[in-house]
Structure 1
Amino acid sequence: MPNLEQTLVYKWLNEVWNKGNIDIAESLMHENATRHGLGDIDSNLPGPEGFRTFYANFKKDFTNIDIQMEDAIKEDGIEAVRCTVHALHIPTNKEVNFSGICWAKCEHGKIKEAWNSFDFLKMYQQIGLLKLSESV
């Protein structure tokens, strides 16, 4: 298993999300990179420019974002990181905690394509936007 800190996905999550350094996106993401699993952004502009839309929208609603990366796998240009997101939902002042996996195809030191799978259902439940019925 690789050293977690040596993966590009770790650097992306730590710099862009934990440190709020969106300006590093151009140096970590290919200009034509595609993303999956982030909702409407999947059909928008490719690369860092398209990602900035998702990032700005998420940051309008959440602050104190802290992503803890637990595991990483890196082989033949593919990286996967398992993580937990902690943040504060600004409109409700509620803390959220949910897990996720980022899987990325990397070429020449940049993310070329990324698949994101986060437990947004749990996040929506924690901020009160979704309630699941207790009866089945």
Structure 2
Amino acid sequence: MNRTERLEDWYRRVYLEGDFEAVGSLFNDNTKAAGLIDDMQVGPEDIGVFAMALVNLVEAPQLRIVKTVESGDWLAALIECSAVRPGDGKPVRAMGQLMARYEGDRIAEAYNSFDFIAFFEQLGLLPSDSVVIGMSGQKIS
């Protein structure tokens, strides 16, 4: 299994099947991931809690790796996430990116970026025009 396939398998197991025990299967014991929570690097156990909280906000989550680029020990991936909003069944879609350095077949360090603003807007947890409000200098309320 190549790195992209391992990453897809991991996302499927953790985010789609809810196998939060599988989180550590892709990471070294001392791996830290940055970018999921501001100013924090999190380890595999934290990623499991994060993943559980995230998938409990939606129904029928889907993930698709749109594009990967590999260079030496590094893998960069563009990931499309889609789901259904609970209550009214409206679609939710957001994009994310991952840059990961591998040691063998496990991730040694990871850097994440996910469009949480679009995600939370679509869930109705932020106003639908949060970026516009922020760009105007107004406080989002």
Query: Residue 82 of structure 1: which of 78, 87, 91 is its match?
Result: 78
Residues 114, 6 of structure 1: alpha-carbon distance in 2 compared, 3 angstrom cutoff: closer
Matched, 1:20 2:42: no
Query: Residue 39 of structure 1: which of 16, 37, 40 is its match?
Result: 37
Q: After superposition, what is the alpha-carbon deviation per residue over 1:81-109, rounded to whole angstroms, capped at 9, x for unaligned? A: 11210013336654310111111111121
* 1:61 counterpart SS class: coil
Query: Residue 100 of structure 1: which of 89, 96, 99 is its match?
Result: 96
**Percent of aligned positions that are identical:** 24
Contact 2:61-2:82 at 8 Å conserved across structures? yes
Name the residue aligned to 1:129.
125
TM-score relative to the length of structure 2:
0.76
Contact 1:61-1:91 at 8 Å conserved across structures? no
Matched, 1:116 2:112: yes
TM-score relative to the length of structure 1:
0.79
Moved over 6 A (4+): none
Name the residue aligned to 1:69.
65
Amino acid across the alignment from 1:113: E
Q: CA deviation at 1:21?
A: 2.8
* 1:113 counterpart SS class: strand
Once residues 97 and 91 of structure 2 are traced to their aligned partners in structure 1, the CA distance between those partners, rounded to angstroms, is 20
Q: Output the aligned Cα RMSD.
A: 2.7
Name the residue aligned to 2:139.
none
For structure 2, the 5+ residue unaligned runs are: 137-141
Number of corresponding residues:
131
